[in-house]
Structure 1
């Protein structure tokens, strides 16, 4: 496979010159986004709206810049993300939209509609075959994501407590999975009921197609027959009180490989384009309700038709950067018992691991890790 082209521009701007959103527009046009036939087509722009309390997510100005370019090309853009597996401010479409609005994402500020990809309760998904999948045969992807004619990812490249970093592949694979799809990637266990949170509403009972959900009339609580539960996750969206959950217990290698396979399911068979911004590189995911100080300096904006090459280029750029003083990374490196992994992400969070994700992505044909970096 020949090298992929990855385009790059830094965050420098001149006084009284173009601002960063305009610079982003120029960069993605140079990278070839205009080669995609957008005329009259629905274009999903996948991003992370940020958890309430977190302020390191990408500002709405960047998503507006991408949406504006799509509209210039005749496309019909919409911003999208899918609901979260964990209880938080984005676990259903109503709370998710309110979170997005509070964090500055509205049709007025971004110039296009906002749709939650897997519907009101995170149950509106489509089973998509994974060609060459070793861990996942059918991925559960948000229906609105799969209904789009064109797919564009806009990623905040940052650290992550499990996968080392959150790049394009994580934004797409984990982000586009429905609630059941996220459980599919995160968990090797089956669903369980927290009796303290169960309200005895019995809504969940009708969602199980495997006769695994039952109701104990004596204590007035739902329970799950583990012998019959197949771990499909359909019951997650049925409970409005977060009484049903899955454990986040998948090994990191398994999680990385499943994420790569979910990404392949999202992208196969339609035009796609990818953008990553290395800015405010927090040590943890934007799913956190807080953000620590950046571990690395702001580096720049990257774009490519190949999400794997894009992630490889971004991680390479990060590994060449110097850790920022006062960050989690710098503090770890200053400890007396510090073991140098020669990897900023592993040094920041030693229990994390990212290499298997990129290795497996290349193995299943998601893209190539070989790239040519073209500075704009």
Structure 2
């Protein structure tokens, strides 16, 4: 059963997935099969480990757990105790990150390692992927890029677990699994500059939808690189309108904590995350919805669909 405080939001999403009357939809041979998205309201280490087990079949070999370390003392990051419990369940795994384009607590590898310690991520090896430079990955079917520059150490891994704190973002509207592997895997010196355009924030101010498309193409390079050996987990807690890159300056979250979503389909898990936010009462959802829509953040979802990165039709399977 759902936690009572979540029942309204989650029930709305379940109705959307099943049909307006809650019944199973009539099968249509012309429509693709729905992707499976797992859900738990258990925001604990045990809940995270449990939901990961549902999508772990193709995770093998040396595994990168892509996290967002956040700026120093950020109040909204995924609790390190949760991440530590998950990492302990994944053989041959390291946390991975990249340095930032902007100046701050993660601008250089030296500063980034200080932030990693400050924020409690130093319970295992954290591989800063661009510490040793960058490498180009192909962008298949992209209209803006043919290749994308990512941290060189990415090539050392056989699989990736994308562990994302779902929240708002100043430029992206929202930060889900797509942003985590796009800007999150692009190296700080070249890749992030490519995604933001040669003049940085000017691109975003001039054409927000183009910025979203750039971000999707960057994410596609990483998703295609790992193929079936990549999975996605979004943690919907402490969902400020600001990213963890805002650190202690992040706005206070207005939405309730919802739970954890996981899938092998990046579009499905980000779509389900947005749907759960939109299903909240208006007084809770308003600020985050406004952030998403004013930044044209929904273009992330529609462009992922256009590029064949996943399915926006999904079946929500609760583990509660």
Q: TM-score, normalised by structure 2?
A: 0.83
State the match for 2:211 in structure 1: 255
State the match for 2:94 in structure 1: 78
State the match for 2:318 in structure 1: 375
Answer yes or no: is 1:27 the counterpart of 2:39.
no
State the match for 1:278 in structure 2: 236
Secondary structure of the corresponding residue to residue 44 of structure 1:
strand
Answer yes or no: is 1:184 the counterpart of 2:194.
yes
Answer yes or no: is 1:97 the counterpart of 2:113.
yes
On the 8 A contact 1:297/1:324 being kept in 2, the answer is no
**Unaligned stretches of 5+ residues in structure 1:** 13-19, 190-245, 331-343
Shift of 1:32: 2.7
- In 1, Cα distance between the equivalents of 2:283 and 2:149? 39
Secondary structure of the corresponding residue to residue 164 of structure 2:
strand
State the match for 2:34 in structure 1: 3
On the 8 A contact 1:127/1:140 being kept in 2, the answer is yes
State the match for 1:214 in structure 2: none
Secondary structure of the corresponding residue to residue 176 of structure 1:
coil
On the 8 A contact 2:292/2:298 being kept in 1, the answer is no
**Unaligned stretches of 5+ residues in structure 2:** 1-31
- In 1, Cα distance between the equivalents of 2:252 and 2:201? 28
Shift of 1:295: 2.3
Secondary structure of the corresponding residue to residue 294 of structure 2:
coil
List structure 1 segments (4+ residues) > 4 angstroms apart after TM superposition: none
Match runs of 1:205-224 below 5 Å: none
Change (3 A) 1:297 1:141: same
Secondary structure of the corresponding residue to residue 249 of structure 1:
helix
1:301 pairs, out of 260, 272, 279, with 260
**For each residue in 1:93-113, what CA deviation from the matched residue of structure 2 results, as whole angstroms up to 9, or x when unmatched?**
111111011011113xxxx31
Secondary structure of the corresponding residue to residue 273 of structure 2:
helix
- In 1, Cα distance between the equivalents of 2:198 and 2:257? 36
Shift of 1:37: 4.9
Shift of 1:274: 0.7
**For each residue in 1:47-78, what CA deviation from the matched residue of structure 2 results, as whole angstroms up to 9, or x when unmatched?**
1111124211111112212212212xxxx100
On the 8 A contact 2:80/2:120 being kept in 1, the answer is yes
Secondary structure of the corresponding residue to residue 318 of structure 1:
helix
- In 2, Cα distance between the equivalents of 1:37 and 1:273? 8
Shift of 1:269: 4.0
Match runs of 1:1-376 below 5 Å: 1-11=32-42, 20-29=44-53, 31-33=54-56, 35-38=57-60, 41-71=61-91, 76-107=92-123, 112-119=124-131, 124-179=133-188, 180-189=190-199, 246-250=200-204, 251-270=207-226, 271-289=229-247, 290-322=249-281, 345-348=288-291, 351-376=294-319
On the 8 A contact 2:67/2:163 being kept in 1, the answer is yes
Count of residue pairs brought into register by the alignment: 282
**For each residue in 1:269-309, what CA deviation from the matched residue of structure 2 results, as whole angstroms up to 9, or x when unmatched?**
42101100000001111111322211211000010001110
Q: Is the helix fraction higher in 1 or 2?
A: 2
Secondary structure of the corresponding residue to residue 292 of structure 1:
coil
* RMSD of aligned residue pairs (Cα, Å): 1.8
Shift of 1:324: 5.7
Q: TM-score, normalised by structure 1?
A: 0.71
